[in-house]
Structure 1
Amino acid sequence: MEIYLDNNSSTPIDERVLAIMENVYLHSYGNADSRTHNHGERARTIVENARKQVASLLGINSSEVFFTSGSTESNNIAIQGLEEYAIETNKKHIITSAIEHKSVLETIKMMKKKGFDVDIVNPGLSGQVNAQEILDKVREDTLLVSIMHVNNETGIIQPVDILGGELEKRNVLFHVDATQSCGKLVEEIRNLKYNMLSFSAHKLKGPQGVGVLVLRKKRYRLPPVKNIMYGGQQEHGIRPGTIPVALVAGCGEACEIAEDEYKENSRKLKSLKGTLEQLLNDSGADYHYNGEQNCCIDSTVNICFKGVMSEALMLSSKQYCSVSNGSACTSKSYSPSYVLEAMGIPVEDIESSVRISWEPETNKTEFIDNVSKMIEIAKSLAV
C-alpha cells in the first residue's frame, strides 16, 4: 500500500481530535452565539476553551485569537482588512516575497490594483529571503510586511525573527503566515514579534475548514484590521458567520496535542529526515535538494532528480508514495513552480523536482520500503 508523503498539503486528522469533534457534533449542537439557553452556553464554552488551547500553544492571550475558515481567509483578512487604516494614514506601501502562498500574493496583487504600492522580494538559491533586502525597502509610508515562516514547497525557514524585531522598531505592521510552522516550530513562534499571524488546523492534524487569525495587542489595542465580510458580530466582528463549534473544538484539541507532544514530534521528524538522506545517499541516484538544508524544517524536502520528469515519477510511483511537485492550490496547473522559479532554479530542474513531506507518526519501516522503491523508479526514468 502507498505511503502518504504530502503532509504539507494536509495532514491526517488525529483520532483524539476526531473523538472530540464527534462528541460536539452529537451533544453540543447549539449556536455559540445563542445567549438565551443552555445549549448555546455549552457551545460557547467549547469555543472559548478552544481559544485558550490555541493561545496556550502560541504563548499569547486568548483575546488575540480569532477563528476563521483557514489560512487563506486569515491571510485575506490580515491584508485586506488594513485598507481603511491605510487610507486614513496615507500608508499604502506593502512588502512581501515572491514565494508566499497564493492567498497572500493574489491578495496583495489585488491591493495593488486599488492603488497600493507593492514590493515583491525574490529569495536566492538558498530559498530564504534576505532580511536586510526587505528592511532596505521599508519607507515612511510602508503599511505592512507579510512574510511566511516556512515555505510550503521547500520547507525553508524564513528570517521572520530578524524581521519582527526590526519592523517593531520602525512601527511597521508585520504579518506572518505560520501555516507550515504552527505546532512544529513552537518555541520559535512564541518568541516572534508580529502583529498578525495565520494558520490552518489541518496542517497540524486538525480538521479541514477551520483556522486562526492572531491579532496581537499593543498597549491593549488590536491592530487596525477591519472585517472584509458582513453579516454579524461573531468573533468581535472580525469574522462574521456562525462559528462551527465542532471544527473549532477540533482545532483547539489539535493545538493542545501539539503543545504536549511537539518536542517528541520534532525528534521523530528529524529521525525520518535523516533516514531519507541516508536512502538518497546510498541509492546512487543523481539528485540535489532545492534550498539550503541548514535552514529547512525537518518535515519537508524538495528534491530534484536530474533528468527525471516529476510528473512521470509521481505517476509511476503512486502505488508506493503520495508526493507532490508543488502547492496543492496550484497542482492543477502544470506550469513550473513559481516558488522554485523565484529562487532562480533552471526550468529543467524545476520540472524534475518533487516535494516529500511527512508527519511524526509516519511509519519508519513503510517509509524506508516505499521511498526506496520511488528512488529506484526515479533512477530508471533518468535520461
Structure 2
Amino acid sequence: MTVYLDTNATTPVANSVADLVQKYLVEEFGNSGSRTHEFGARAKQAVELARKQVAAVVDLDSSAVTFTSGATESNNIAILGLQSYAEGLQKKHIITTSIEHKAVLEPCQELEARGFDVTYLPCDESGVVSVDSLKNALREDTVLVSIMHINNETGSIQDIQGYCDVLQHHDAFFHVDAAQSFGKYSDALKNERIDMMSVSGHKVYGPKGVGALLCRRRGFKKIPLKPLVFGGGQEKGLRPGTLPVALIAGLGEACRLAAENYDQWAQHCLDIKQDLVAGLEDVGAQINGTHSAPHVLNFSIPGLNSEAAMVALKGIVAVSNGSACTSSSYTPSHVLKGMGLSDERIEGAIRMSWSHMTKEIPLAEVIGRIKQYL
C-alpha cells in the first residue's frame, strides 16, 4: 500500500471528525439559522460549540471566530476587507513576503492594482524572512502586515514572536496565514499582537471546505473589516451564507483533538523526520530550507528531476513537488526561487509531509528506488 506523504496538501480526517460530520449530515441536518424548532436550535448549538473549540486552540473567546470556506477565503477577507478603512485614512501600504501562499499574494496584487503600495519582503536560503527586513520596511502609512507562520512548501517556521516585537509600537494590523500551523504548533499564535489568523479545516485533520478567520479585538474595538459578499447576515455580516453545520462541527472536533494531543503528535512527526533526514544522506540529498516544522521536509537530490522522482516512488509513497494549489501549472516554485536556489535544485525539489497518523516511512524502499534513477 502506498504511504501518504502529502499532508501539507491535505491531512487525513480523524475518525471522530468523520463520525460527527456524518451525524450532522444525516441525523441532525437542521439549518442553524432556523429559530422556530429544535432542529435549528441543535444545529446552532453545534456551531457555537465548534466556535468555542476553534477559539480555545489559541486561547481566544469564541466571538473571535468567523467561519469561512477555508484559509484562502479567510486570507482574502483579512486583506481585501481592509481596503475601505485604509483608503479612508490614506494608509495604503501593505507588507507581505515573497514566499507567501498564492492566497495571500494574489489579494495583495489585487490591492496593488487598486492603487495600494505593497512591499514583498525577501528571504535567504534558510527560507526565513528576517525580523530586520520587516523593521526596515515599516512606514507610517503601513496599514497591514501579512506573514505566514509555516511555509507550505519548505516547512520553514517564520519568526512570529520577532515580528510581533517589531510591531509592538506600530498600529498596522498583523495577519498570519496559519493554515500549516494552527492546531499543530499553536503556541506562537497565542501572541496578543496578532490581530488576525487564517485557518483551514483540511490542514488539521478536519473536513475540506471549512475554515475560519480569527480576529482579536484591540481593547473594545473590532478590526474594521468589510465583507466581500453580501446577503443573509450570517457571521455578523462579515461572511454571509448558510453555515455548513456538519463541516463546522467537524472542524470543532478536529480542533478539540489537536488541543489535547499536539505535543505528542509533534514528537512523533519529529521522530519520523530525523530518520528520513539520516536516510537521505545516503543519496546526497540537499535540504531546502532550515528551521522547518517536524512534519515536513523539502529536499533535492543532485541529478534527479522531481518529476522522475515521483515516477520512481509511485506505489511506495505519495509525495509532491510543491503546493497543491499550483501543481497543475508546472511553473518553478516561487518559494524556492525566492530563496535564491539554483534552477537545477528547484527542478529537483521534492516535498514530503506526514502526520501523527503516519506509522513509518518505508525508507529502505524509497532510497533503493531513488538509487535506481541516479
- Measure, in 2, the Cα distance between the counterparts of 1:32 and 1:165: 40
Q: Contact between 2:180 and 2:203, CA under 8 Å: does it hold in 1?
A: yes
Which among 281, 284, 287 is matched to residue 286 of structure 1?
284
CA distance in 2 between partners of 1:126 and 1:372 (Å)? 28
Mapped contact 2:204–2:258 kept (Cα < 8 A)? yes
Q: Alignment identity in percent?
A: 44
CA contact (8 A) 2:183 2:258 kept: yes
Mapped pair 1:297 → 2:326: no
* Number of the residue aligned with 1:315: 311
Deviation of residue 134 (structure 1)? 1.4
Q: Where does 1:102-141 land on structure 2 (aligned, <5 Å)?
A: 102-141=102-141
Mapped contact 2:134–2:166 kept (Cα < 8 A): no
The 1-side partners of 2:13 and 2:276 are apart by: 24
- Of residues 318, 328, 332, the one that matches 2:328 is 332
Q: What are the equivalent positions in structure 2 for 1:211-250 lying under 5 Å apart?
A: 211-250=211-250
Displacement, 1:380?
Answer: 2.4
SS in 2 for 1:145: strand
Please give the residue correspondences for 1:362-373 in structure 2 after superposition, counting only pairs within 5 Å.
Answer: 362-364=358-360, 367=361, 369=362, 371-373=363-365
Q: In the TM superposition, what whole-angstrom CA distance separates every residue of 1:283-304 from its partner, at most 9, and x where no partner exists?
A: x212110011xx2110001001
Measure the CA separation in 2 of the matches of 1:231 and 1:164.
35
Aligned counterparts of 1:61 and 1:242: Cα–Cα separation in 2: 23
User: Which residue identity is paired with 1:333?
Assistant: S
Which amino acid counterpart does residue 285 of structure 1 have in structure 2? V
Quick one: distance in 1 between partners of 2:142 and 2:37? 48
Q: 2: distance between equivalents of 1:41 and 1:126?
A: 51
> How far off its partner does 1:206 sit?
0.2
Q: Determine if the alignment matches structure 1 residue 380 to structure 2 residue 368.
A: no
Query: CA distance change for structure 1 residues 192 and 308 in 2, over 3 Å: closer, same or farther?
Result: farther
- Pairing of 1:124-273 with structure 2 (within 5 A): 124-191=124-191, 193-273=193-273
- In the alignment of these two chains, the number of paired residues is 374
CA distance in 1, matches of 2:15, 2:279: 31
User: Which string of whole-angstrom CA distances, capped at 9 and with x for unpartnered residues, describes residues 317-359 of structure 1?
Assistant: 1110100010000000212111000000000110011000000
1:136 deviation in Å? 0.9
Give the TM-score of the pair, scaled to structure 2: 0.98
Deviation at 1:266, TM superposition (A): 1.4
Partner Cα separation in structure 1 for residue 192 and residue 369 of structure 2? 42
Extract unaligned runs of 5+ from structure 2.
Answer: none
Supply the distance in 2 between the matched residues of 1:248 and 1:4 (Cα, whole angstroms).
25
Q: Secondary structure at the match of 1:276?
A: helix
Contact (CA 8 Å) 1:29, 1:43: kept in 2 or not?
A: yes
DSSP-derived class of the 2:63 partner: helix
Instruction: Name the SS of the counterpart of 2:283 in structure 1.
Output: coil
Residues 22 and 246 in structure 1, CA contact (< 8 A), matched pair in contact too: yes
Q: 1:161 to 1:125 in 2, by over 3 A?
A: same
Tell me if structure 2 keeps the 8 A contact 1:161–1:193: no
Alignment of 1:80-119 (within 5 A): 80-119=80-119
Contact 1:71 1:199 in 2 (8 A): yes
- Structure 1 window deviating more from structure 2 (189-198 vs 213-222): it is 189-198
**Shift of residue 376, structure 1, vs aligned partner:** 2.3
Cα distance in 2 for residues equivalent to 1:188 and 1:119: 24
The Cα shift of 1:192 comes to: 5.4
Amino acid at match of 2:287: Y
Q: Alpha-carbon deviation of 1:189? A: 1.7
The question of whether the paired residues in 2 share the 8 Å contact of 1:285 and 1:375 is answered with: yes
Partner Cα separation in structure 2 for residue 381 and residue 312 of structure 1: 8
Structure 1 unaligned spans of 5+: none
- Contact (CA 8 Å) 2:199, 2:212: kept in 1 or not? yes
Deviation at 1:242, TM superposition (A): 0.3
Alpha-carbon distance in 2 for matches of 1:280, 1:192: 40
Give the residue type in structure 1 aligned to 2:311. L
Give the drift of 1:193.
2.3
Q: Do the aligned partners of 2:4 and 2:319 also contact (CA within 8 Å) in 1?
A: yes
TM superposition score normalised by structure 1: 0.96
Deviations 1:235-275 (A, max 9, x none): 00110100000000000000000001111111111111111
Task: Work out whether residues 337 and 346 of structure 2, in 8 Å CA contact, stay in contact via their aligned partners in 1.
Answer: yes
Amino acid in structure 2 at the alignment position of 1:362 = T
Measure, in 2, the Cα distance between the counterparts of 1:211 and 1:333: 25
In 2, the alpha carbon distance for the partners of 1:212 and 1:2 equals 32
